[in-house]
Amino acid sequence: MGNFFAFRNSVGVIGGTLAGILAGLLLDFLKITIPNNLLWGFIFLFILAGILHFVRIFYFKKHYEPKLEMSSEHYFSLLSFIKRLPFNNFGRFVLLTSLISFAVNISGPYYNLYIFRDLKFSYLQFLILSIVTSLSSLFTFNLWGKLIDKFGSVDVLRVGGFLISLVPLLWFFTIYFDRSTNFIFLIFVHIIAGIGWGGYGLAMNSFLYTSVTRPRRALCSSYHSLISGICILLGSFLGSFLIETFKSILPFNSIMFASLISGILRFTSLLILFIFVKEPLEIKKSLFEAIKYRIIKLESFIIHQFDHFIAEGFFNKIFSRYIRKSKSLEK
């Protein structure tokens, strides 16, 4: 299942990256040729996107889906779903991933504003950062898929969650750098973000499919999306409130203050998820145990090589030089 979602997401990222490149080139071209009518470029892009969505619907209707028999026992209301959230594994997963979505959107929607208004980046620089994020996701999808199939979705969710929690804290350091340094630094940050979001998104899909039966999967997914969407909206409102409230109080950019708050809340939510959400499948070995084993193995290899160098290589060279010198003096 992990490999399937990895392939599906890879195709989507390739299409999204190509679309982003073409859109960025178009906007940069219009910015140079007709700077006062750049709005027409955005209007054209929105119309084209709408047309392509209708094309997508046409082909999606041709997609085969096995017949599903539903009964009344498979249905449950939103209210009953919310009441049971803290008392089952999938419910805790919904709560904590929605809380992470809340934390993400405290700062997420305002990074683009920060890039253009405060960092003064061009459309081309913005496009490069977007491509870096997409490519770093693309090149790690296959690895994440294999890890999910081998170690389960929860461990990958934790690792991806750690990376996406680290990102807003790294953004905060841009207040100390100049424009050119910020661009190079943000390329590194976007690589981490692409890798983290790739694993996190794949693990979320895989967890849903492995922890919920097929008759209830659509309903559970809908309720999860609804709760997560509400948290996204509330997070955006809180981020806007923080930015507007503290912009004249803080000695640094208030968007970066929202980014700092977002990072702290992401880590807090991830820590709770680490404790209370369990893997729905029976996995013989966890990802963290495998990483620990690799680290111990690497550590023993380094120590062995070091001991070998000290015991045999280094001292042998010293004694061989001493012996050669002694023989030359005897002659």
The CA-based angle 25-138-180, given to 5 degrees, is 50
Q: Where are the domains of the chain?
A: 2-64+88-284
Judged by DSSP in three states, 31 sits in helix
Q: Which helix (H) or strand (E) holds 37?
A: none
DSSP assignment of 201-257 equals HHHHHHHHHHHS-HHHHHHHHHHHHHHHHHHHHHHHHHHHHHHHHHTTTSSS-HHHH
Predicted confidence at residue 32, as pLDDT, reads: 75
Predicted confidence at residue 21, as pLDDT, reads: 76
Chunked into runs of 10 residues, the chain (331 residues) has average pLDDT values of: 66 76 78 75 86 84 72 81 90 94 94 92 86 88 87 90 95 92 95 94 89 84 94 96 91 93 95 88 64 60 57 53 54 51
Predicted confidence at residue 11, as pLDDT, reads: 74
Residue 201 neighbours by CB under 8 Å, 6+ apart: 9, 160
- The pTM of this model reads 0.76
CATH architecture of structural domain 2-64+88-284: Up-down Bundle (1.20)
